[in-house]
Amino acid sequence: MLDELPVPDRFRPALTAIVDRLVAGDYAGVARDHSPYRDDPDHDLGLWAREYPATFVPLPPAAWEHATALQLDAGWAVDVSLWSREEGLSDMTLSTFIREHDGEIQVDVTDLHVL
């Protein structure tokens, strides 16, 4: 069984930038730039987020206390909960898979969903 770990600091700027784009409603851009399903016309990254009954806000520093990371052989599975103006910590979760190669960090957004 794998242990959940804190999200490594080196991944946080890339994840924060993606969340900021989601906060701005740029679901199509995030899908285009980060989704492995970008070419699937039936995959709508923002489907659940657009229906969510709250307004998402940028991640506060406390967000990293609730984010989780699993180190796998091929990379990292990282989940970051989004935050909203109305409720603070929300149950909307950004799920990602992160790979590192030659000092570069590649983030694939695998899902945006309610837990």
Q: Any residues with CB less than 8 A from the CB of 101 and at least 6 apart, and which? A: none
11: pLDDT strictly greater than 90? yes
Nearest to 98 by CA among 74, 81, 82: 74
pLDDT of the residue at 39: 84
22-69: per-residue pLDDT in tens? 999 999 999 999 998 888 888 888 988 999 999 999 999 999 999 999
pLDDT of the residue at 37: 87
77-115: per-residue pLDDT in tens? 999 999 999 999 999 999 999 999 998 999 999 999 998
- pTM confidence score: 0.94
